[in-house]
Amino acid sequence: MPSGRTHDRITLYSLPFVAGVTFWQTRSSNATLLVASGFLFGGLMFGPDLDIYSVQYQRWGFLRWIWLPYQKSLRHRSFLSHGPIIGTTLRVLYLGCLLAVLAIFVLAIAQKLWNFSFTWQELGRTVGRSLLDYDTEYVALFLGLELGAMSHSLSDWGGSAYKRFQKQGVRGLLPSGKMKKRQVTSRTKRQSKPRNTKSRS
pLDDT tens digits, residue range 140-192?
A: 999 999 999 988 778 767 656 556 656 766 665 566 544 444 454 555 555 55
What pLDDT sits at residue 19? 96
Q: What is the pLDDT of residues 18-77, one digit of tens each?
A: 999 999 999 999 999 999 999 999 999 998 889 999 999 999 999 999 999 999 999 888
**Position 195 pLDDT exceeds 60:** no
What pLDDT sits at residue 85? 93
Compute the distance between CA of residue 13 and CA of residue 79 in angstroms, rounded to an integer.
Answer: 26
Domain extents in the chain:
4-190
Write out the DSSP string of 81-117. HHSTTHHHHHHHHHHHHHHHHHHHHHHHHHHHHH---
Q: What is the pLDDT of residues 62-102, one digit of tens each?
A: 999 999 999 999 988 888 888 899 999 999 999 999 998 99
Nearest C-alpha neighbor of 50 from the set 158, 141, 37, 42: 42
Contacts of 150 (CB under 8 A, 6+ apart): 84
What pLDDT sits at residue 181? 47
Q: Would the pTM count as exceeding 0.95?
A: no
The torsion angles phi and psi of 2, rounded to 5 degrees, stand at -60, 155
The torsion angles phi and psi of 75, rounded to 5 degrees, stand at -85, 140
